[in-house]
Amino acid sequence: DQQVKQNSPSLSVQEGRISILNCDYTNSMFDYFLWYKKYPAEGPTFLISISSIKDKNEDGRFTVFLNKSAKHLSLHIVPSQPGDSAVYFCAASSITTDKLIFGTGTRLQVFP
């Protein structure tokens, strides 16, 4: 089931710079997208979401962009901080199902 893909397994960014995490999806029925942050041996923590009727949603340092025609979304973190170092998962849902479909995750490392 590759409906949600995160093609970059890892990303390394210097503190203070922008981190851009990407996610692609194949199912055009998806209408709600979420980003979760996860530390090892902990549960996913909700970060930010976006509905398919929008193309941008911003919350503090986090902004999610949605390009429906390209079936692509991205998470921008600016400025990046060392505490942002974690695995980031994008997830998608549709009105036809209860479940979230997760991507494989991108490990972000923010170094000083």
Partner 1 sequence: EPEVTQTPSHQVTQMGQEVILRCVPISNHLYFYWYRQILGQKVEFLVSFYNNEISEKSEIFDDQFSVERPDGSNFTLKIRSTKLEDSAMYFCASSEVASSGNTIYFGEGSWLTVV
Q: Are strands 106-111 and 10-14 parallel, antiparallel or unpaired?
A: parallel
Interaction between residue 12 and partner 1 (CB under 8 A): no
38/21 Cα distance (integer angstroms): 14
Interaction between residue 41 and partner 1 (CB under 8 A): yes
Beta bridge partners of 11: 108
Please list every residue from 48 through 87 that binds partner 1, using CB under 8 A. Answer: 49, 51
Interaction between residue 46 and partner 1 (CB under 8 A): yes
Q: Name residues whose C-beta falls within 8 Å of residue 97's C-beta, 6 or more positions apart in sequence.
A: none
- Binder to partner 1 among 43, 60, 83, 112 (CB under 8 A)? 43
Interaction between residue 10 and partner 1 (CB under 8 A): no
